[in-house]
Structure 1
Amino acid sequence: MKPESTALVLIEFQNDFTTPGGTLHDAVKQVMDETGTVPHAVQAADAMREAGGAVLHVPISFAPGYGEITRNPYGILAGVVDSTSFVRGEWGAEICEDLTPKDGDITIEGKRGLDAFGSTNLDFVLRSKGIDTVVLAGFLTNCCVESTMRSAYEKGFEVITLTDAVGATSPEEHANAIAYDYPMFSKPMTTEAFVEALTAEKELADSSRGY
């Protein structure tokens, strides 16, 4: 895991999910509290920056009225519309304070669906930076994170998912995705294990350069 070719992709760490008062916060609060989703994502982001890796934020947002999607949404997008979530320009669509992008971070614009690659330039940015390993965290465990994970796997990236830096609307859905789906398309690991591996690689590289 070389920091210079690794990117942490933070999916939808936005107020509507992460923060009391957010439209979907109550739905994910239990899993967030049990896993420490946000603190672990902060830990991973800090470690990536320290190691010299890339931190990418991928929020989702829609214009008022949700004109970018079908007039008759169903499934997860129907829930977004019905709850009036992630409206561009409103507080709920803003990235949460704990994960406010820092100098050097990259924010990917244009996410309108589940897969972070689908309607964005994420693939272009990753490849232009020479990234071959993507590390995923965010919401929902079994939805946008999993959709992005599958696409990254298909595109030939090495994929790592941080099992305690993702959140879902129920413990059952969260656990099921991690137990049965994540190992098929990624290398699941805890944030602690990821940070240890990243730190060890940086120390090895530093020692080889005589630092």
Structure 2
Amino acid sequence: MSIPSYKKETTALLFVDPYNDFLSEGGKTWPHIKGIAEEVGLIDNLRTIKQAAREASIQIVIVPHRRWEPHDYESWSHPSPSQRTVMRGHHFARGEWGGEWHPEFAPQDGDIVAKEHWGSSGFANTDLDLVLRQHGITHVILVGLLANTCIETTARYAVELGYHVTLVRDATAALSKKMMHAAHDLNGPTYAHAILETSELVKALRQG
């Protein structure tokens, strides 16, 4: 895959699920992804990409998972295994620390926060597609969590909707190396237009 060029007028950085539960010490999911996150340098890479996107005037869009509230999913006919996990563990609980933004990745003025997604796709049953199209976005770069669930599902959906999609190997994490391998080496090449390292993406943004 070649490295694309990214025009500031038509490119958006989709930052998926930047919650304390995912990215902060003490978060409910952090212990399960910490090994891989530290191995790939996730936090530093997210900092680098966020700064590069701002310097390049790339639109940043926060793509948040549903913040758990009491009775979520309990009466559903077919909650997914992931939704059952959230129901039991109260991940990203609304009004609690775990459901707050990681302090370094909270939305800033000019950023867009899409409506919360209930499943894995940031597009399904949200306003994400509408917001992107209203801002003239054609290219999306996905970072955040998790590589093989919300990142992959949102990216696949984006391709189906006609967007140019970039994945960033070391700006995400998963529960195991096998899941990372599946996301980037097995599945990613079947739909993504580019799969980059943070250094490659930053260079491309600066040249864009």
**TM-score for the superposition, normalised by structure 2:** 0.91
Match of 1:41 among 43, 46, 57: 46
CA distance in 2, matches of 1:68, 1:131: 37
Residue 44 of structure 1: SS of its match in structure 2?
A: helix
Q: Specify whether residues 77 and 122 from structure 1 end up closer, same or farther in structure 2 by C-alpha distance, changes over 3 A only.
A: same
| Deviating more after overlay: 32-41 vs 70-79 | 70-79
Gaps of 5+ in 1: 202-211
2:13, 2:60 within 8 Å by CA — same for their partners in 1?
Answer: yes
2:103 corresponds to which residue?
Answer: 97
| Equivalent runs, 1:97-116 vs 2, <5 Å | 97-116=103-122
- CA positional deviation for 1:190: 0.8
Cα separation, 2, equivalents of 1:69 and 1:85: 18
Q: Write the mapping of 1:19-168 to structure 2, written as runs, cut at 5 A.
A: 19-60=24-65, 61-67=67-73, 70=76, 73-168=79-174
Q: How far is the alpha carbon of 1:67 from its aligned partner? A: 4.6
* SS across alignment from 2:104: helix
Q: Which structure's residues are more often helix, by fraction?
A: 1
C-alpha displacement at 1:62, in angstroms? Answer: 2.6
| Alignment of 1:192 onto 2:190 | no
**8 Å Cα contact 2:117-2:125 kept in structure 1:** yes
1:39 to partner: Cα distance: 1.8
Deviation at 1:77, TM superposition (A): 1.5
**Number of residue-to-residue matches in the alignment:** 201
CA distance in 2, matches of 1:90, 1:102: 20
State the partner residue of 1:206.
none
- Percent of aligned pairs with the same residue? 34
TM-score in terms of structure 1 length: 0.90
**Structure 2, unaligned runs of 5 or more:** 1-5
Q: Is the 8 A contact 1:59 1:95 kept in 2?
A: no
**148-157 vs 171-180, greater mean Cα deviation:** 171-180
